[in-house]
Chains A and B, each alone.
Chain A
Amino acid sequence: MNPSSHPPGDAPVPSPENWKNDEAALLTMLEEIERKHGYIPHQIGDEVSRLLEVKLERLKRAQAKLETGIRRDVQQHVARWRGEEGNLIMILHAIQNQYGYVPREVAMELARELGVRLARIYEVITFYHYFKLQPPGKHNVTVCNGTACYLKGAAGLLNELRAQLGVGEGQTTPDREFHVDVVRCIGCCGMSPAVVCDGKTHGRVKPTDIAGLLAGIRSQAKEAKP
């Protein structure tokens, strides 16, 4: 990726792989060329603008595909509940199940499809805790804060998570790897305090177990990759 490894004098037309995904790399490369030649040769300028157009076209196509995808999904969910009065919440559940949250584009599409105002949909989404407007992290760590868990030290678990990940309740780590959340009660009071990691419930968790839990998630993710 380092542009200086391709001396521009030898290869005036840069390989698109070098910078097509990386604006910063492109700029660095152009600067490098300018420094070396005192100007930017027109072949390179032409090539860059051609590739940019190709990229833009691709983006547009992806956008259109996404929009038809969203439209199709929304239409499917609406069709499932059409004719039922008061179906909005059930449709939102279906959408959240699919995307993990309610993306803005989907909500807009849903408003069009149902023929109601967007505000009416957001009114419902924001009232209920269950619906999320932000994409969840790759891994979700949920601490139960029901009364039983609270008494048995859920606050200590949250503190430990903050110490380990640097984020607290309702926040996602900057690398979007972990999302920490607090729920009211998951009904596992017999095993309090409870922590749910990616859908798996762990009971009787101590603050000292948190590091192990996080390491377990990380290593599982690593195993799954190759």
Chain B
Amino acid sequence: MSDLTSLTIAEARDKLLGKEFSALELTDAYLSAIDRANEAINAYVVVTHDRAREMARASDDRIAGGTAGALEGIPLGIKDLFATHGVHTQAASHVLDGFQPRYESTVTANLWHDGAVMLGKLNMDEFAMGSSNETSYYGPVKSPWRRKGSNLDLVPGGSSGGSAAAVAARLCAGATATDTGGSIRQPAAFTGTVGIKPTYGRCSRWGIVAFASSLDQAGPIARDVRDAAIMLKSMASVDDRDTTSVNRPVPDYEAAIGRSVKGLKIGVPKEYRVEGMPDEIETLWQNGIAWLRDAGAEIVDVSLPHTMYALPAYYIVAPAEASSNLARYDGVRYGLRVPGRDVIDMYEKTRAAGFGREVKRRILIGTYVLSAGYYDAYYLKAQKVRTLIKRDFEQVFASGVDALLTPATPSAAFGIADQDMASDPVKMYLNDIFTVTVNMAGLPGIAVPGGLSQEGTPLGLQLIGRPFDEETLFAAAHVVEQAAGRFEPTPWW
């Protein structure tokens, strides 16, 4: 039965409807895969065996009754950032110890409504802050990928490291993830999976533990472009409980798969060619350009002049919002409480014990940049930069460019506890250099595998689209996928 986990969502969906196997069999296949692998990979912080099997049985009933939904019986992993009714929801943080909400996030509710099955909650960087999944209270996730001839444990990227690793290691058919500065696309690139951060407002943020509200957006990580399209269709919706969600019909994204890119204008932004970028990233990029050109797209050089300011501005805006969003974790109403002499002492002890180093660092940065006397120089200036970055993209799109092609990350996955990264948080932050611009501008961006590094680990390309034009991204990413092929790790676990 274990080969059931090798099926894509699209394949499993069709075979379930063809009654080749049951949803329960499919779910059981994944549950046993998780039980075998999770100790090594640490992708799941909680596995919901009973609920998964119960949901699968209900799916089988609906399939039998002819009322199957779009994701009927498809076993998914859910990032620990999404509120799931009665189930561990802690954003992989100690401060939310024991928290099980009595509500369900809109995105997961949409998935269950379409018949999906929940396998459990996926590990992540604490409060989605990190690019290596090492900041989790539940310990790092190990990438299912290893370098050729090496036993070194690699990071799966972050913050959606659990999601990417679980998808790559076939511990779920697909996973939910979130992306504030690259948290879907960077781990997807590191693990040879496909991840799309849709346009800001495409998915409801209701019930997703907030990191930086103006940047956070949910999206899927999946085995291939088609699966990502299928999942996003179910996840996206307008929601009157999130006034930043946008009321636009959700297109049939899957229909964009196979659509020709002939005549599309693909922009290549020169500012994404950064100093010290490895040759293999340049090669990857050139390959991507060639594949799209061969498929009939027109390649144009474009300029996004404010790109270099995106990362510093992001590391002001995101921590500023986070410092405020995380104020609610005070030990008063839920989660961890460390007793103190008085309420202030209780706050201090709770937050000191409850938050990890990276979260504390960002709360400090955020608090600082919002402080009286610094607000104008930092937060306000960063918002102005944000407007300029947005304008850069608007001008390029106004010139007739349909999508942009860039590398997804400046390098392949690095090792767990990498000394270089650990010694300087800015080095870690540089992982997001190609992805943060997209969040700052609220645009959709997809990461799709483009090849392997010389060491045999995945490298990803990124396509950036016009607001709400995810369909073009799926079409173009599918062209890249067809040309580059799919990449799967060799199991070592």
Do A and B bind? Answer: no
Which residues in B have some Cβ–Cβ distance to A below 8 Å? none
Which residues in A have some Cβ–Cβ distance to B below 8 Å? none
